[in-house]
Structures are given as structure tokens and as C-alpha cells.
Structure 1
Amino acid sequence: MASSATARRLRRGLAEDEDAGLGKLGPDFNDAGCLLISEVNLFFSQPAGDGAEPASKDDGATAVAEKTKAYVAEFSRYKDRPTIREIRAILMKHAAKSDEEREYDEEGNLIEDDGLALTQFEMAQLANLCITEVEEAKSLIPTLAGKDDGLLDSLLQELDNVRRFS
């Protein structure tokens, strides 16, 4: 069932532009980064800053935080900081680059390839789901459908090797 905001937009004749299957997560997520579940787990496992308790606790927020901690502890695939950094570095080699980040020669030709040109969302999904097969990746993450099978397979094998040997 559509939310009330979505229903209002549809009634006014505006097209719905949110579809995770197409990589359209909505305007709130256009420039947002995505964390791996393991990165969130690492955040929650850090000791509290100065040990001071907040002036007032919101029981609802505390309950959500506790459920989030339990979830990320259960589903975190990578447990130590060096492994998480290695996974992130591997994924970043295939990150989509902005026009400012791309390198061109004197004639305006692209010098450096983007690899798979993955979005933040795609990178997080690949790491969080621990996918090992190209067909499975393209099935679970539909935005990967047009990506090069060879490059994607190479990335998946590299991620799997880190997971198995960490």
C-alpha cells in the first residue's frame, strides 16, 4: 500500500520516481553514502565518547538503537577494522566517479576507466549480501544488469577471498 505522501503525489499527477530495483532511491538519498552493516557494527562497538549520559533519554530511540545494535551484530560479515577497510577499498576501486574525478588526456579522451562504476548502494549491497556468483548478484541487485560480467565476477571473487581468509 502506498504511503500518504506517495498517494498525494500520485493524485496530483506526479510520477513516482522511487524504485530501488532501478537504483532510484528518492531525492533524500541522491547524495547519501551507504555504510556496510559491518561499518555500523564497528560504530556501535566503539566506547562512548566522554561517558556522559544525555540529559534525557528517549525510550523509543533507545529501543530502536538496541534493536539496531543486535541486528548489525548478527549480520555483520566482517568483524575487524582492517578487514572492513580492505573490503571498502576493494569496492571503491569500482565506484562511479564524478566528472571532476575522471581523468582526461589533452584531446579530451577518458584516461582512467571507472571499473564497474558502482553506486554507493550497489557497493553496500554487494558487501552486505556476500554474493559469490554473477547471476545471483544481478538477480538480487537489478541495477547490476548492465555491468560487465567479467569485472563483476572478479570483484565478487576478490570480496569472497577476503571474507574467507579474514
Structure 2
Amino acid sequence: MSPVLSRPNFFLSVLNQMKEHDNQMETGSLEQELQSLLLLLAKSVQAKQALTADSVQRINDAFQHYHAIRLKLSIATPANIPVPASSCLSDKVSAPSLLLHTEFVDPPNQLKRIYMEAILSLLEAMEKEQLELQRCIQCHSWFIPYQRAKVNKFCSAKCRNRYNYLQKKNLMKLEETR
């Protein structure tokens, strides 16, 4: 995908805020469809499954219904172009550089834009690398595990410690009742 349209890993913050958005959406709205598509993509990445033709068609339909971005082309003037220190600008006139700008049509607080940007962020991440997504077994937040970890069940040390504390607490209660 070129040019890059979204912030890296923006999809994680949106996935973890989905419940907050539920009461702001109408049933059958484009926002709800975009939310379900984002969740579908995340679950397929988590399960290490390839996208189905049906999923791709649903995403393409959403792209057709919501024209989220505007493209602009501009010519960069030599004053706006950073010049490396090693280059020598003599009397040569260099060809002007073209700059392609992408911007979202809607303001950043609209749910349509938030979910579209999250979908694009996730698709860009999937395109760049083998992406791995997990859900924390303590707080149920989405996270990208460390690459060195063979098994990663928790999004943070705080969740791991809380989970272990609760497990020990429950074990102690069971032993007391015996």
C-alpha cells in the first residue's frame, strides 16, 4: 500500500476501545460494519488464517461505500526539499519533486474514520510483516507479543502479576473450605 495512510499499530488502540463505541453506533450502520470488519481481520490474524474471498469482498464493499481519503499531488519547490550536506548545488536546475499527500475526509473523532483508519493500519501491518496478535487472558486487551516470547498470555507484567495473585487467592480459598 502506498502511500502509508495510517499510524503504525493504530488498530490496537481501536480494538481495545471497541466497547466504548458500541453505544454510539446505530444498528446496521457503516460504523458497525467497519467495526465488525476490523474484528474479523484481527481474529483472522490471531488465528493465523488467511483472509477469505468473502472477507475481501466485504472490505472492498466498505471501501466503496465510504470514500475516506482525498489524494493531492503537489510539486515541491527546492526551498521545501531537504538537501543532503554531501550534495553540491551548482548552477544545475534539478527537476521538481512530486509529493503525494493523503488525508482523511472526515474529522478524526468520527467513528467511520476511526474504524477505517484502524482497518488500513491493520492491513498495512499485515502487508509489511508476519503479524501476530494475542488477547490478554487477564484484561482481554489486544496486544502484539514480544518476538522472543514463545508463549505470551499477558499484555503486561501488571496483568501477569494480577492473574497469578488471583490464582493463588482462589487456591487458598479452596484449601480453606476443605
TM-score normalized by structure 2?
A: 0.24
Structure with larger RCO (C-alpha < 8 A, sep 6+) = 2
Q: Which has the higher helix share?
A: 1
Q: Which has the higher strand share?
A: 2
Query: Which of structures 1 and 2 has the bigger CA Rg?
Result: 2
TM-score normalized by structure 1?
A: 0.26
